[in-house]
Amino acid sequence: MREAYQEQLGKLAEELASMSTMVGTAMERATKALLDTDLSLAEQVIDEDSQVDEARARAEEHAFGLLALQAPVAGDLRTVIATIHAAEDLERMGDLALHVAKAARRRHPSAVLPTDVQAYFAEMGNIAVRLAKSVGSVIRSQDVETARGLEEADDEMDDLHRHLFTVMMSPEWSHGVAAAVDVTLLGRFYERFADHAVAVARRVEFIVTGKMPST
């Protein structure tokens, strides 16, 4: 019985790792759609967002089933509860990629981003995809040190996000209020994507150590 239960927990972890791949791919495509004004790619991200929602629903159903049928205690209970919260974070990451894709679609055929901030968003997209991949690795390995390492990438994202405001507040900014609003919102989407990735990593650390890391 115990072996079968551990197998179910392993399947639950794999469902989360699969979600991390999905949201990483979504953000990668959404970023490309944003930078290349690629409407078809934006539409693909929008259409496939429901798959992330369905994956969260499956993971939660699986987790609640384990709670109801197995009555887990101690470490196993931590795993199940943390999984439910992590699935929510991963779904939010998918929603943030969706918001980026919708911005690209809304402005099409015009570019959303002025040329002088495109490089920053290209790098933010790279960091976001890297974080999503790292989350999947952490979920599978439950490596606490790797989980803590995600904080560095999150700091990189925060630095880029803050720098966007420096660019927009510069006297050289000539793109108007509408473009500034778009840049502000999009920067926030990437920054929050990174925050949720770190939240998932912290939940993995909680599973392993029994202590939730301080923020």
Query: Does 136 reside within a domain?
Result: yes
Query: Does 215 reside within a domain?
Result: no
User: How remote is the C-alpha of 46 from its chain's centroid?
Assistant: 15
Query: Does 214 reside within a domain?
Result: no
Q: What is the mean pLDDT of the chain?
A: 93
Question: For residue 152, what is the domain's CATH number?
Answer: 1.20.58.220
Query: Does 43 reside within a domain?
Result: yes
Cβ(27)–Cβ(96) below 8 Å: yes
Query: Does 163 reside within a domain?
Result: yes
What confidence tens digit (pLDDT) does each residue in 191-202 have? Answer: 999 999 999 999
What confidence tens digit (pLDDT) does each residue in 51-68 have? Answer: 999 999 999 999 988 888
Give the list of residues 6+ apart from residue 67 with CB closer than 8 angstroms, or none.
Answer: 80
- Please tell me the distance from the alpha carbon of residue 110 to that of residue 104, in angstroms, as a whole number: 9
What percent of the chain stands above pLDDT 70?
96
* pLDDT over threshold 70, residue 1: no
Q: Which residue has the higher pLDDT, 71 or 205?
A: 205
Domain span at residue 143 reads: 2-209
State the pLDDT at residue 9.
Answer: 85
Specify the number of domains making up the chain: 1
Dihedral pair phi/psi, residue 143, rounded to 5°: -85, 110
Residue 48: is it exposed, middle or buried by C-beta count within 10 angstroms (0-12/13-18/19+)? middle
Cβ(122)–Cβ(44) below 8 Å: no
Query: Does 194 reside within a domain?
Result: yes
